[in-house]
Amino acid sequence: MKKNRSILLTPVGRLALLLIVGGPACAQEIPRPAITGFSHVSFYTTQAEAAKNFYVNLLGMAPARQSGSYLVGRQRVTVVPENPPNPPSLLANIGFATTDVEAMRKYLESHHVQVPAVVQKDSDGTRWFEVNDPEGNHIRFEQVSGNRSKTRNLLSSQIIHVGFMVHDRSGEDAFYREILGFRPYWFGGRTDDRVDWVALQVPEGHEWIEYMLTDKDAQMTPERLGVLDHFSLGVTDMKETAKQLEARGWTSNSRSHVQMGRDGKWQLNVYDPDGTRVEFMEFTPTQTPCCSPFTAPHPSSSN
C-alpha cells in the first residue's frame, strides 16, 4: 500500500491555489445598485425664453435652482441653451436615479463599460457620472437629494418614459437588458406585423425607455427626430389634461390632439419651441394593446 504524502506549499503557492479553486482571495462580483426611474431628461434649445414659457406657463412646471431646469415631481426637464453638437439631434442626456452612484460607476466598470475616473458633485449635493450607450446616447446616473415639487399648475408629476432613436436593437439590449437589468414591458408597431417601438422598464421601478427603431439609411429631418427623441408625462385623465391645456391657450390640430395609442393608452402630443415632442399619456390602458401584452406592472401617480 502506498503511503499518503502531504504537499507543503509556500505562502505564494497557497495564494495561487486559492485563486484557482475560487477561495476567499477571489475577487467578488460587484452587485448592481438599484435603478429606480428617471432623474431627468435634457434637450438642447435654440429658444431658451420660449422654452421657459412652454414648460412653465403651458405645462405648469416650476423652475428649479439650476438655470434652464423645470421640476416634474422629484424629476426635472432641462433645456440647454446651446447649439446641439450632433444636429438635428436635440437630445442632450437621459438621467437615471440610482441609490448609490459610486457603486454604479464601479459596477459598470466591472462590465467593461467606459466610465469616468471620479463621480461629479453639484452644488445641491447631487452626485452623478455620465457614460455613452452603444448608440452614443449620453446616459447619466444620479444619486439625487431633493424634495418633490408641489406646483399647483403642474399637469403631471412624473416622467414615465423617455424614447430615443435606435438603429441596432441587439446592441442596445446588450447594455440596457444584459448589463443594467431593464425588463420587457411592451412592444408594438404601426401595423400588427412589425415592431417599431420596444419598451423596457427600469429594474427597480415602473418607468421605461422606448426604443424608436429606425433604419440606418432613413432620411432624418429635424421634425422627424423631434418626434423620435421625446419624453412622456403620466396623467390619470386625458380629457381633463386636454381641458387644462386648452385653458392655457393650447388648441387641437393635426399634430397635437387626443388619440388612442397602439398600446391601448390615451395620448396627447405637444411640441416645445424646438420641435421636441412631449407626450402626455395615461398611466394605464383602456383598450387591449396591439402586437404584445404588457409584461410588467404599470406606473401610477403614486410611484
- Of 33-37, 148-152, 197-201, 298-302, the range with the lowest mean pLDDT is 148-152
Any domain includes 188: yes
Range of the domain at 73: 35-282
40 in Cβ contact with 130 (< 8 Å): no
Any domain includes 164: yes
How high is the mean pLDDT of the chain? 90
- CATH number of the domain within which 184 lies: 3.10.180.10
**53: three-class secondary structure by DSSP:** helix
Domain count, the chain: 1
Mean local confidence (pLDDT), 260-264 = 98
Any domain includes 252: yes
Q: What is the pLDDT of residues 131-161, one digit of tens each?
A: 999 999 999 999 977 655 666 789 999 999 9
User: Rounded to 5 degrees, what angle do the CA atoms 36, 302, 93 make?
Assistant: 40
Any domain includes 179: yes
pTM (two decimals): 0.90
Any domain includes 212: yes
Any domain includes 8: no
Q: How would you list the strands of the sheet with 258-260, edge to edge?
A: 183-188, 197-201, 208-213, 159-166, 230-235, 277-282, 266-271, 258-260
Where does the pLDDT of residue 17 fall: very low under 50, low under 70, confident under 90, or very high at 90 and above? very low
Any domain includes 74: yes
Sign of the CA dihedral with 254 first, then 256, 262, and 265 last: negative
Any domain includes 15: no
pLDDT over threshold 60, residue 249: yes
Mean local confidence (pLDDT), 255-262 = 98
What single-letter DSSP state applies at residue 93?
Answer: E
